[in-house]
Amino acid sequence: MSTSNKTAVTPRDPIEFIRSVETSAARRHDAQVLVAMLEEITGQPPRMWGPSIIGFGEYHYKYASGREGDAAAVGFSPRKAKLVIYGLTYPPGSAPLLEKLGKFTSSVACVYINTLADVDLEVLRELLTMTYTHFTTENIQSLQSQRP
């Protein structure tokens, strides 16, 4: 049985989303910095994925269960509490860079940053580039098939 991805591209303007999100002015500024950085890295315009993720590029995934869809190759969300950056932990070789990134917390797939001033922006740029390249050029089916 195949089900569609709940997080799909929407027509909402990402810059308008940043202006309207309930968060601090500093976090909105950091979000604008990330948009500019990711546009430069990816050569892609920002697009809204679902109600709160700003994504760049995309890739197709297919789970072992048969579920498949498209997702942003790299993206982030300026949440009220933190900036959430998706996918930085996936690329091979990301662990040593994450050790040099600075102050953040993480989960399996996400990195949570309070402010960009807490991290080394050059290391972040390298991680974002690595993540985008990984999801747009690698065969990632083995990664995706490990997830339910």
Q: Where are the domains of the chain?
A: 9-143
- Determine the pLDDT at residue 54: 98
Residue range 93-128, pLDDT digits in tens = 999 999 999 999 999 889 999 999 999 999 999 999
Check whether 92 has a pLDDT greater than 70.
yes
Mean pLDDT of the chain: 89
User: Can you spell out the DSSP letters for 45-85?
Assistant: --EEETTTEEEEEEEEEE-TTS-EEEEEEEEEEE-SS-EEE
- What's at 65, amino acid-wise? S
What confidence score (pLDDT) does residue 139 get?
Answer: 63
Please name the residue that has the structure tokens 């996936």: 90
What pLDDT shows up at residue 1? 40
Task: Tell me the residue ranges of DSSP E strands in the chain.
Answer: 9-10, 47-49, 53-62, 68-78, 83-86, 105-106, 110-113
The answer, yes or no, to whether residue 4 has pLDDT greater than 80, is no
Provide the percentage of residues in the chain whose pLDDT is more than 70.
89
The domain made up of 9-143 is a member of CATH 3.90.1150: yes
Higher per-residue pLDDT: 111 or 67: 111
Flag whether pLDDT at 2 surpasses 60. Answer: no
Q: What are phi and psi of 42, to 5 degrees?
A: -95, -25
What average pLDDT score do residues 26-46 get? 97
Q: According to the model, what pLDDT value does residue 109 have?
A: 86
